[in-house]
Chains A and B, each alone.
Chain A
Amino acid sequence: MAKVISAKINGILLRVEEGTTILEAAKRVQIKIPTLCKHPDLPASAACGICIVKNKGSNKLLRSCCTPLEEGMDITTHDPEIVEIRRTVIELILSNHPNDCLKCARNNQCELQNLTADFGIKEESFPQLLRNLPIDQSTKAVDLDPKKCILCGRCVHVCQESQDVWALSFLERGMQTRISPAGDIQLSDSPCVKCGQCAAHCPTGAFVEQDNTAQVWKALQDPDKYCVVQIAPAVRVSIGEAFGYVGKNFTKKLYALLRRLGFHAVFDTSFGADVTIMEEASEFEERLLHGLRPLPLITSCCPSWVDFMEKFYTDMIDHFSSCKSPHEILGVLSKTYYAEKNKIDPSKIFMASIMPCTSKKYEITRNDEMFASGFQDIDTVLCTRELVRMIKQAGIDFESLPEEECDSILGEYAGAGVIFGSTGGVMEAALRTAHYFVTGKELKNVEFENVRGIKGVKETEIEIDGKKLRIAVAHGLGNVEYILNKVREAKVNNKEMPYHFIEVMACPGGCVGGGGQPYMVTDELRIKRALALYEDDDEKKIRCSHQNPYIKRLYKEFLGKPLSERSEKLLHAHYKARPIYVK
């Protein structure tokens, strides 16, 4: 048990565990100390200087984000002097930030803008000092506009420490300091894996998703196009946040919404996830029983994780499931199976994916296999934030929409498909089906509690047919090293593999915490979003992918069986090393 200390904040006596920062402690007594650089996900970087407070008897001001409350402290968080200093610091930051808020992607959602409003700053107190720095749009997923950067350091910390990618760093010093990939190269030439966690954590508009809404509007207005759309599991439980609902599932309103926007058919990525499971569970069964390819099997539905592996863990290529990600599968099926069945010219189909993810924008053209239908399988990807903008542009009262069903036959999903959106979900869904494939028997209890939850690395053992299987689940790329080092060690020493099956999701929390999701995500929010997905699963009559009648029909009518020749051609991909820092 941590020691408890008592101190005063604004005269209120409180007791907190030793080590609690003044900022955190103040929250507990309903005091909000403003800050621009501290994010609940991240340790304090102490960059902005706004969260300063006074301690009685000391001349110096303390930064509340990084100073622990100590026994006997008497803290003042707000007085005229403190507020004046905060205002000066904000005004200084504003003097180094373009004031084109009206045209900024973060307009109305910007932490700097909010503080400016809170402090009633209405004029420029100091001369504008703007830097002329180019925008980096090279990734096709996340854009970096260094002019808007306030150097809070959140993105750098997320990229280096949480994600272990090290694409971003500080360059130069003093007023020349800026965020950039090391060596001042473009993001696309850097280790960047497009996960978008920089954008999710950026307080301003320095990092934003590349906006593809115009492309979608254009397609929707094109009479020649047959527009179809799919929504990812994680989107349905986060979109409500834009309208004030937290942890609420909006699946059926989303279906209705997308039809109102003008899409001809509305599909659900969870159905693609069911197909992924059929293929991936079969792959696992094959590796486990026939050993043609090595174990552990590693999931591959996260494009940032695939990109990361192709850059840093190329020795794991053999272990990667060749199965495409659910939205790619749904894309290729919509332009083959669905087109065939409904007698639509596949060249006219425009497929938009609504994803919690910025990396999917990159994935859709990552190699030739993303054109398996003969066309680009997914025409464009919008992330949750972009869809919110479309809803508002279309003037649709989202909350009051009636509930609708999605379009058959690429729609109705099993519970297994929807939990893909949370860390551990792919593993759980795969185990439900793998168990059936290996043993021929259905599980009595389909819930694998040990792979659920927000812990960074989850390791557990399950039994299938008397066989003990070791499982590992990691989310947040920074957690991968621990697991894969164990695999590497076993490989080098020719020892038994530490795991049979590994799931990795690049973003903390899995897709619910994706880089394209609504801003200000915290662990608390990630958990709420995930719980809403597990509820959806719980309410489904059919919870295993292989039991989904539409899936059965798909295989019967079109694919044959998992890993069939047609499946391999349409639903599987290959990987190659993509070394970084080489031209």
Chain B
Amino acid sequence: MYAKTVLIKDTDTTREDKTREAYTRLLDCLREDNLHDHVQVVRVSDIGIYEHGLVLKIYPDNITYANVQESGLKRIADSIRDSKVLEEFVFKPKARQLRLVLRNCGKINPESIDEYFASEGYLGLKKAISDLGQQKLIDEIKLSSIRGRGGAGYPTWLKWNFAREVKADQKFVICNADEGDPGAYMDRSILEGDPHSVIEGLSIAAFAIGASKGYFYVRAEYPLAVERINKAIKQAYDHGLLGKNILGSPFSLDLEIRLGAGAFVCGEETALISSIEGKRGTPHPRPPYPSVKGLWGKPTVINNVETLANIPQIVLKGGKWFSKIGTQTSKGTKVFAVTGKVKNSGLVEIAMGATLREIVMDICGGTLSGKPIKAVQTGGPSGGVIPQDLLDTPVDYENLQKLGSIMGSGGMIVMDEDDCMVDIPKFYLGFCVEESCGKCAPCRIGGFQMLNYLKKISEGKGEISDLPQLKRISQAMQKASLCGLGQTASNPVLSTLKYFEAEYKEHILNKHCPAGKCSHLITYNIIEEKCKRCGICFTNCPVNAIVGDKEKGYSVIQEKCIKCGRCFDVCKFKAILRK
């Protein structure tokens, strides 16, 4: 047994090799201090803190160090030996989060089932099977009022109940881990940091509906998650928590991983089912709903990773406990992946009802640039842009929808003045156009046409009549598309049109991009008075669009300039004028 456990993660990068280097270095230091048999060091993929350099957590002391330099590792090893705390590295979080879903992430070794056991692991499943039984279990979930965390917010208990009521020789449960929103990695972190909680949640769901077979549908781009789930499944089998007669009951369950090939639309329930069946991943009309007729025509419950990770705690602590967290209509917590122009980006778990401002300003520390926030985008490509004056809105499913956005799976991108409200929806729509399965006409053609209009506007060729066209196609896509992808793909456009129409008009009428983002609409010029003739712009221009010399000074040949902004970025004297 180890006396202490140290979790380690380089939070500035998603690259594992960086963490691995520090990990090796720390092991060496511990060996020098003869501590290597007493201290266990675990590399984790998510430690709950982001962009704070190398982060270490020491248990059972519960000390968190952040921004640790490599040279500091030796001192930390020494401090462990001397049982001291190094104040200079101690991490001081600004605001409190409520970590229910991420409760174990960065705390326990995700590859150890014993550590999961030690944090109440599988007690929920035991309670469900031994004490509750199917009906009471579903009643508890109903009482908790938990809604699906995948985006649509459908009551989880209803899904389960439908599937339970259908008589069938076989039923399935599926964990939807096909997380694909740009910039979102909540599910990945849960699967990598606490895979057993998801397995337990999925097992409970299977027990509730009477399924004997379950699948993890994980995108192939998450190799570490796949590895961890695989290990966790094997451990669960070894402990009799999967397989035949689980915990001595008649309930049996087999779990298997299916890899998704990275098609965003396969996160949609019916497309996901097609994909598992080995068919082209395209959505199908509902009804019949998967809970009645799903995988291979059998009743199937599909729950998102985050939903499932909530389940064991709900079962263990009771639906009533859960229902006390959150707002009237949205219970529990929500994990957001906050990125963009914030000081501290990363995963944030808050109780429903916290305001966007609390998340962005208090937890994430406001913008990095110090410039005011312009807007926040929630819900990824299906969501919308919420302007800064509405940031005091408490976060829940209904409120976000009222503002023209959605909760979605939890992507949140913070934008400041340098972000263009034509460029942002163009990016998101481009994503949806790329990811449209091509099956239904409104989404396939409508999305493409809208994207063309946005491109046109951002290139300075827009006409004022393009705006009603955008609205018209949006309406058709929202109302006539078959699946969520098409129905929501125009949200970023509609919400920016709603809150930032003036910015669109500025692009169209004055051929001007206020944020200086749309490259066709900006020019770079050298301000002679400010220029110190250092020549750094000249050497850095990738297309030789800057001419001149240190004697005569420099100027930009507009015809050659590709508007990359390199000169603007490298000039130390602010002598480049971007207009």
Chain A interface residues toward B at CB < 8 A: 44-50, 52, 60-61, 63, 65-68, 84-86, 88-89, 92-93, 95-96, 125-127, 129, 150-151, 153, 169-170, 172-177
Contacts and interface: CB of A to CB of B under 8 A. Distances in A.
Contact of A92 (B282, B285, B434, B476): B476
A88 B436 CA distance: 19
B438 A175 contact: yes
Interface of B is mostly: helix
Given A47-B440, A63-B285, A92 B473 contact: yes
B287 A67 contact: yes
B85 interface: no
9 contacts: A47-B441, A50-B441, A68-B287, A85-B476, A88-B446, A88-B472, A92-B473, A126-B473, A129-B448
Given A92-B442, A169-B280, 13 more contacts: A46-B440, A46-B482, A49-B480, A61-B479, A84-B475, A85-B475, A88-B476, A92-B445, A92-B476, A95-B445, A125-B469, A151-B438, A173-B437
Interface in B396-443: 433-442
A175 B448 contact: yes
Contact of A151 (B439, B469, B482): B439
Contacts of A45: 439
A68 B473 CA distance: 27
A151 B448 CA distance: 15
Contacts of B439: 45, 47, 151, 153, 170, 177
Nearest to B483: A46
Interface of A is mostly: loop
Interface string B273-311: 000000010101101000000000000000000000000
A44 B444 CA distance: 18
Contacts of B285: 44, 46, 63, 65-67
Contact of B445 (A44, A66, A169, A175): A175
Given A67-B287, A174-B433, A48 B479 contact: no
B263 interface: yes
A43 to B, nearest CB: 9
Q: Which of A68, A88, A125, A151 has the most CB of B within 10 A?
A: A88
A44 B284 CA distance: 9
Contacts of A65: 285
Contacts of B472: 88
A151 B444 contact: yes
Given A61-B479, A95-B449, A169-B280, A48 B438 contact: no
A85 B474 CA distance: 10
Interface string B432-469: 01111111111011111100100000000000000001
A123 B407 CA distance: 39
A367 B135 CA distance: 68
Given A49-B481, A61-B480, A174 B441 contact: no
Q: Which of B282, B285, B287, B452 has the most CB of A within 10 A?
A: B285
A49 B449 contact: no
Contact of B482 (A63, A172, A176): A63
Given A92-B442, A95-B445, A126 B479 contact: no
Given A151-B444, A170-B280, A177-B439, A129 B449 contact: yes
A68 B469 CA distance: 33
Contacts of B445: 92-93, 95-96, 129, 175
Contacts, number: 111
A172 B285 CA distance: 21
A174 B263 CA distance: 11
Contacts of B469: 125-126
Contacts of B480: 49-50, 52, 61, 85-86, 89
Given A63-B482, A89-B480, A150 B437 contact: no
Interface in B479-502: 479-482
Which range contains the number of B residues in contact with the other chain? 20 to 34
Given A46-B285, A46-B482, A66-B285, A88 B438 contact: no
Contacts of A170: 280, 282, 438-439
A44 B447 CA distance: 23
Interface in B190-221: none
Contacts of B440: 46-49
Contacts of B434: 174
A93 B441 contact: yes
B345 to A, nearest CB: 30
Nearest to B436: A174
A181 B252 CA distance: 42
Contacts of B442: 49, 88-89, 92
B284 A48 contact: no
Given A85-B479, A175-B444, A92 B438 contact: no
Contacts of A174: 433-438, 444, 447-448
Q: Which of A93, A151, A170, A174 has the most CB of B within 10 A?
A: A174
A173 B280 CA distance: 10
Contact of A150 (B282, B441, B447): B441
Contact of B438 (A49, A50, A67, A176): A176
Contacts of B449: 92, 95, 126-127, 129
Given A63-B285, A177-B444, A88 B263 contact: no
Contacts of A60: 479
Contacts of B282: 170
Contacts of B437: 173-174, 177
Contact of B441 (A89, A172, A173): A89
Contacts of B444: 96, 151, 174-175, 177
A98 B257 CA distance: 44
A204 to B, nearest CB: 13
- Shortest 4 CB-CB contacts between residues of A and residues of B: A177-B438, A66-B285, A49-B480, A88-B476
A96 B452 CA distance: 13
A44 B434 CA distance: 25
Contacts of A89: 441-442, 446, 476, 480
Contacts of B473: 88, 92, 126
Contact of B452 (A44, A52, A61, A127): A127
A492 to B, nearest CB: 27
Interface string B232-265: 0000000000000000000000000000000100
Nearest to A46: B285
Contacts of B446: 88-89, 92
A372 to B, nearest CB: 45
Nearest to B472: A88
B452 A175 contact: no
Nearest to B448: A175
A52 B285 CA distance: 12
A129 B455 CA distance: 15
Contact of B433 (A47, A48, A52, A175): A175
Nearest to B451: A175
Q: Which of B263, B436, B444, B473 has the most CB of A within 10 A?
A: B444
A174 B280 CA distance: 13
Contacts of B284: 46
A50 B480 CA distance: 7
B441 A52 contact: no
Q: Which of B282, B446, B473, B476 has the most CB of A within 10 A?
A: B476
A462 B227 CA distance: 63
A125 B449 CA distance: 11
B299 to A, nearest CB: 18
A532 B264 CA distance: 53
Contacts of A44: 285
B162 to A, nearest CB: 15
Nearest to B283: A46
B296 to A, nearest CB: 16
B381 to A, nearest CB: 13
A93 B447 CA distance: 12
Contacts of A49: 440-442, 476, 480-482
B287 A151 contact: no
A252 to B, nearest CB: 46
A433 B448 CA distance: 63
Contacts of B479: 52, 60-61, 85
